[in-house]
Amino acid sequence: MTSKTQRDFTLEPADSERLANLAGPFDEHLRQIELRLGVEIANRGNVFRVTGPRRAAERAERLLQALYEEAGQTVFDAHAIHLRLNEANVDQAVAAEYQPQEVTVKVRRGTIRGRGANQQKYLHAIATHDINFGIGPAGTGKTFLAVAMAVDALNESRVQRLVLVRPAVEAGEKLGFLPGDLAQKVDPYLRPLYDALYEMLGVEKVVKLLEKNVIEIAPLAYMRGRTLNDAFVILDEAQNTTIEQMKMFLTRLGFGSTAVVTGDMTQIDLPRHVKSGLKDAIDVLRGVEGVSFTFFEARDVVRHPLVARIVDAYDRRDAQDRLTGPAA
């Protein structure tokens, strides 16, 4: 386990307006730096203490010094702090000692925490990356945790709206034969997202937010040509996207937005000759800075214990088929 160090320093000159600009509303800028660097920041006025792995604490001190100097001429918001963190290349600088902070989400039902290492990693990744992939079997909390983070971002005014996206029909998104308007056509396919929203916000509030278009239902086929700023966007069931659809979705992201892509590679409903856009994204985007991948396993399933055993049984069968070919 990486040992922690403590660094005490004073930001000069003492200036309450500059300090407020650096810290942000309710210290949200300091919290952003803590999450990204894996440190704890405490201060009394302009006297600061940073605790964490040695290299991370040193980098945090230098960053705070630089931001404080800049705070006299620049008004910071969450976007500006995010850009400064990217410019400082902090991810690579502290990767060897990095210990992420636990992320908790406050919603109507209480406080949500990650169960197990993968859920904790997933929550932290969403808090610190603009594009996030959660990949794994049903019941691992991929969609539920993504919606929780989206609701938290909306409640804290870090985003202005939530956009829920899903391939409406497995392979073609041909909605014309379904009765009703667009929302009614897509509604059955977005039911898991609705269920999570109802649990966290309550039915009445969700209905009001839908009426005000703060929560938007967007079938994947209707995302083309849009740019989404200050939005939290969730693409669910992404294993059923084509390569072109996935590329189109990922390039919709605008300033101040976060995207979460969830999917299960064992439940692809595309025609056999069509490669999944999710599988392609894993191949192409692994290692791209600013993009996170969290891979869940059967042991991460948080539904009935039998679900994990079922997932394991299918995984063993699939592994055997790859070695010997499917049974007749």
What pLDDT sits at residue 170? 43
Q: Where in the chain is the domain with CATH 3.40.50.300?
A: 104-324
For 104-324, CATH number out of 1.10.10.60, 3.40.50.300, 3.90.110.10, 3.20.20.10 equals 3.40.50.300
Q: How many CB atoms lie within 10 A of CB 153?
A: 21
Distances (CA, A) of 34 to 90, 201, 253, 276: 12, 28, 25, 36
What pLDDT sits at residue 270? 86
Q: How many CB atoms lie within 10 A of CB 192?
A: 17
Nearest to 65 by CA among 127, 7, 3: 7
Rounded Cα–Cα distance for residues 261 and 250 (Å): 9
Question: Each residue of 229-261: b (16+ CB within 10 Å) or e?
Answer: ebbbbbbbbbbbbbbebbebbbebbeebbbbbb
E strand or H helix that includes residue 112? strand 110-113
**In this structure, what token pair is assigned to residue 142?**
């991929």
What residues contact residue 140 under an 8 Å CB cut-off, 6+ apart?
A: 118, 119, 134, 296, 297, 300, 301, 302
Q: How many CB atoms lie within 10 A of CB 93?
A: 17
Nearest to 39 by CA among 116, 148, 128: 128
pLDDT digits (tens, 9 = 90+) for 49-105: 999 888 888 889 999 999 999 998 889 988 788 777 766 655 544 444 445 556 777
Q: Where in the chain is the domain with CATH 3.30.1370.10?
A: 4-97
Nearest to 194 by CA among 215, 219, 175, 212: 215
> Can you spell out the DSSP letters for 3-69?
-EEEEEEE-SS--HHHHHHHH-GGGHHHHHHHHHHT-EEEEETTEEEEEEEHHHHHHHHHHHHHHHH
**Can you say how many angstroms the Cα of residue 142 is from the centroid of all Cα atoms in its chain?**
10
What pLDDT sits at residue 234? 94
**In this structure, what token pair is assigned to residue 59?**
């980098």
Q: pLDDT under 70 in the chain at which residues?
A: 1-2, 86-102, 107-109, 168-189, 302-308, 322, 325-328
> Can you spell out the DSSP letters for 144-208?
HHHHHHHHHHHHTTS-SEEEEEE-SSTTT---TTS-SSHHHHHGGGGHHHHHHHHHHH-HHHHHH
Rounded Cα–Cα distance for residues 236 and 259 (Å): 11
What pLDDT sits at residue 323? 74
What residues contact residue 243 under an 8 Å CB cut-off, 6+ apart?
A: 275, 276, 277, 280
**Can you say how many angstroms the Cα of residue 161 is from the centroid of all Cα atoms in its chain?**
15
What pLDDT sits at residue 88? 66
Model's pTM, two decimal places? 0.66
Provide CATH code, domain 4-97.
3.30.1370.10
**In this structure, what token pair is assigned to residue 118?**
């993968």
Q: State what percent of residues in the chain have pLDDT above 90.
A: 39
| Ordered alpha helix ranges (H), 187-297 | 191-201, 203-211, 243-250, 277-285
**In this structure, what token pair is assigned to residue 192?**
């898991």
What pLDDT sits at residue 95? 45
